[in-house]
Amino acid sequence: MESILEEEKKIIDSYLEEALPRKFDRRWLDSALGEARWEHDIESYTKAIAEPGWELLGRGGKRWRPFLMLMSYRAVSGRNDSVGSILALPELIHNGTLIIDDIEDSSSIRRGKRCVHKIFGDDIAINAGNSLYYLPCLLIARSRGLSHKVKVRLYETVMEEMVKLSLGQGTDIYWHRSKKSGMNEG
């Protein structure tokens, strides 16, 4: 299992780099956003979004979420191919939540290094974390192999889960601030 995960991790990482390039360029921006009506400040995009995003993404992680997505797809479809760039979706969202959570919890260390907000500042980290929330919507929109119906269902699922995530984090913050003890699961 470990060797399969390592092999697939390379594929997953390549899709992550397609979804969030380490350095933005005009080709990626035109492909993602269409022709611009203004002059892009590529350096700003790279410094304020790509670099902080990759500061955390580049620290590794096992990539379990996209791996399980891929294995589920293969089990259900009976095919041995990849789901394409959509594979980056859970990892982008997960890392976005980690960046934002570290700010909300005033954390200092993540994956053995200084948190993104400690390196880049809260403002850059918040924007980068939010960008990792929004990029999956672009992935869905740009996925050529998905029908309109599947795209709509993916949007619905992602948005529903993001709202749940926000409610859960809001609860965590409230409990932390008010020193309220947690509710029982059930």
Cβ pair 142, 150 in contact under 8 A: no
Tell me 46's DSSP state.
I
Which regions of the chain are under pLDDT 70? 1, 181-186
Q: pLDDT tens across 68-112, in order?
A: 998 898 899 888 777 788 999 999 999 999 999 999 999 999 999
**Distance between CA atoms of residues 50 and 21, nearest Å:** 7
**Distance between CA atoms of residues 49 and 28, nearest Å:** 14
**Distance between CA atoms of residues 184 and 96, nearest Å:** 27
Structural domains in the chain, sorted by start = 2-145 (1.10.600.10)
**Number of residues written out for the chain:** 186
Tell me how far the alpha carbon of residue 96 is from its chain's centroid: 5
For residue 182, what pLDDT is reported?
Answer: 58
Residue 165 makes CB contacts below 8 A (sequence gap 6+) with: 93, 97
For residue 166, what pLDDT is reported?
Answer: 95
For residue 186, what pLDDT is reported?
Answer: 47
